[in-house]
Amino acid sequence: MATDAVGREDLYAVLGLEPRASGEQVERAYRFSLELYHEGALATYSLLEPSEAEQQRARVREAYEVLSDEEKRKSYDANQGFLPPDSPVLAFPGPVHARPEQELPEVLTGAELRKIREARGVSLRHIASVTKIGLRFLEYVEEDRFAFLPAPVYLRGFLQEYARLVGIDPRRTADAYMNRLGPKP
Q: Which residues of the shown chain bind another protein in the complex (CB under 8 A)?
A: 1-4, 16, 25, 28-29, 31-33, 35-36, 41-48, 118, 121, 123-126
Q: How far is the CB of 9 from another protein (least distance, A)?
A: 9
Q: How far is the CB of 90 from another protein (least distance, A)?
A: 26
Burial of 114: CB neighbours in 10 Å, binned 0-12, 13-18, 19+: middle
Q: How far is the CB of 126 from another protein (least distance, A)?
A: 7
Considering beta carbons, is residue 64 or 154 the nearer one to another protein?
A: 64
Considering beta carbons, is residue 56 or 160 the nearer one to another protein?
A: 56
Considering beta carbons, is residue 26 or 151 the nearer one to another protein?
A: 26
Q: How far is the CB of 89 from another protein (least distance, A)?
A: 22
What is the Cα–Cα distance from 182 to 173, expressed in whole angstroms? 15
Considering beta carbons, is residue 33 or 179 the nearer one to another protein?
A: 33
Nearest Cα residue to 156 out of 105, 101, 90: 90
Q: How far is the CB of 21 from another protein (least distance, A)?
A: 10
Q: How far is the CB of 97 from another protein (least distance, A)?
A: 32
Which pairs count as long-range contacts for 42-48, CB under 8 Å and 24+ apart, including other chains? none
Q: For the chain, how long is the longest CA-to-CA vector?
A: 60
Considering beta carbons, is residue 92 or 148 the nearer one to another protein?
A: 148
Give the residue ranges of DSSP H helices in 18-169: 23-36, 50-67, 70-80, 110-119, 124-131, 135-142, 152-166
52: left (phi over 0), alpha (psi -120 to 50) or beta: alpha
Q: Are 92 and 152 in contact (CB under 8 A)?
A: yes
Considering beta carbons, is residue 88 or 121 the nearer one to another protein?
A: 121
